[in-house]
Amino acid sequence: MNTRVRTLLCLVLLALAAPGLFSQASVRSASSGMFSSPPGSLLFAAPAPETGDQRLLPPLPDRPETPGDDRRTLASAAADYPVTPGDVYRLTYVYSSELSPLPVSVDSDYRVNLSLFGAVDARGMTLAQLRKRIEQMVLATYPGSGPQLSVDSVGVFEVYIKGEVTAAGWIPAWGLSRLSSIVKERMTPYASTRDVEVVPAAAQGASYDLFQASRFGRREMDPYVRPQDTVVVHRRSREVTVAGEVERPGSYQLLPGEDLDELLKQYGSGNTKLADTAHIQITRWDSGKDAPGETLYVSAEPPSARVELHDMDVVRVSSVKEWMPVVFFEGAISAEGQPGMGVDSFNRIRYSFAEGELLSSAVAALYIRFGTGSDIEHAFVIRNGAAGRIPVDIAQLVRNKGTEQDLPLRPLDRIVIPYRKFVVTVSGAVTRPAQYPYVPDRGWQYYVELAGGFDPAKHVGSVVVITDVGDKNQPESRLIEAEDKIQVPTNNFFYYAAPVAEVVAVLASVTTAVAVVLQLLK
């Protein structure tokens, strides 16, 4: 009993003394916390809330409106991001086992105030250089504090652009804005990309070649713009267009002293394998003559004199394909760029070929241009120096290459594709002679019935003469093909006898009348 009584008394005394012990601990913690943060830090200006975890950071001030996190990410990742007025950084370090943040901004004179750590003149420094400098200063004051400098927001400034631009004025920029992004979409058609000047405040300007930057990757020719810069876009002196068989056709602004050789080799990156450098055409619009322009033909093959180029010249390097021999497909073939299907008009297509090419190869390349109206079975070739036509069955050529009908092409050959009409002509001794639509797998009887049948006054029996599209006779047992002709001869004797009897009767009447008249005159 004595042991239990003593245990209960101890518990009661402990319960009565606990509130006082906990309140004294809270007072001591609050007293030590008043000086736990270094002067100049956010914890000193705004102590942490009394409730909850005492190590929580106080809320940071609102970040200024910027284009978004992309710029902050780029600025943090770029090794050459320049410190820019208006930048806001955040310096964090450990002091008294607590994480202490300190907002750091860049003034217009590039001064960075670090409160108790001092100040830094960041003019001409990159963010990486500034970060290293600040971390060294913090470590000198608080060794082992693990300082870190991060980007809170980036500064935005304006540069002035003038010269050969659509409108002079102020353009917003930031630390990673390059010269090309400032002048892009603001240059007139006569602006120079080879001479763009950047004039810093109270300093001598420098000229930059944006073509060198974009074509050859020379980054020094496309610098970052800085606050108070003035960008002057000068007027171009010469712009020449090169087309045809060069690897990089386009319009280029030439520098003084550059001519045709530089245009083809440097700007056009050289000729293609199909280039005909012996026949280069130059269209010159500022010839100085009364005519609106003139055309020159020069050679770029060595040895050749240097050819001076003028502003707005158009240089065309022709292809050796343009001098290849040609043949012509004509007749029932569709025009350039159109499928065959129903061909109903005469067309003529020019086809270039290499020496030794066969007709079957040319036909295969143009086969899609033949349509339902193309009579490819009865095509023919007209060749200079050849007597008459050379018949060619194009359908057979496509099915069986290398047949005896496959001809080597010769310059100026004319391959004629006749038209094929899907009709059958019925003529002669029928009731309604005419052309009728072709229906496959039908004999001559079907078409004679369409024509109203035999005319009994002209025809006796069922005799017909069938000829094909080539006017060759065909047997009556053969099925009728498109463009066949069915001739029904007139073989009724009385059809011819009746007109003769009428003539005889008339002559008899005339003879009788003449005899009567003569008798009266006696």
Query: Which residues, 6+ apart, have CB-to-CB distance to 87 below 8 Å?
Result: 75, 105, 106, 127, 151, 153, 154, 155, 175
pLDDT at 68: 56
pLDDT at 59: 35
DSSP string, 356-387: T-BHHHHHHHHGGG-BTTB-GGGEEEE-TT-S
pLDDT at 41: 38
What percent of the chain is helix, strand and coil (3-state, nearest 5)?
A: 30, 30, 45
Q: For the sheet containing 88-95, what is the strand order?
A: 98-105, 88-95, 148-153
Question: What is the pTM assigned to this prediction?
Answer: 0.62
Instruction: Locate the DSSP E strands across 383-431.
Output: 390-392, 414-417, 423-428
Which mean pLDDT values do the consecutive 10-residue runs of the chain (522 residues) have?
Answer: 51 45 35 38 35 33 49 93 96 92 95 93 95 94 94 95 96 95 94 96 91 95 96 96 96 95 94 92 84 87 82 94 92 73 74 91 88 86 87 85 78 91 91 93 93 89 89 92 91 72 77 81 74
Pairwise CA distance, residues 157 & 173, whole Å: 5
pLDDT at 515: 79
Instruction: Locate the DSSP E strands across 216-310.
Output: 230-235, 239-244, 250-253, 275-284, 294-298
Pairwise CA distance, residues 114 & 135, whole Å: 11
Tell me if 373 sits within 8 A of 417, measured CB to CB. Answer: no
pLDDT at 178: 96
- Tokens 């069938």 locate to 466
Give the containing element (helix H, strand E) for 125: none
pLDDT at 338: 63
Six token digits for residue 165: 């631009």
Pairwise CA distance, residues 334 & 41, whole Å: 84
> At residue 396, what are phi and psi to the nearest 5 degrees?
-70, -35
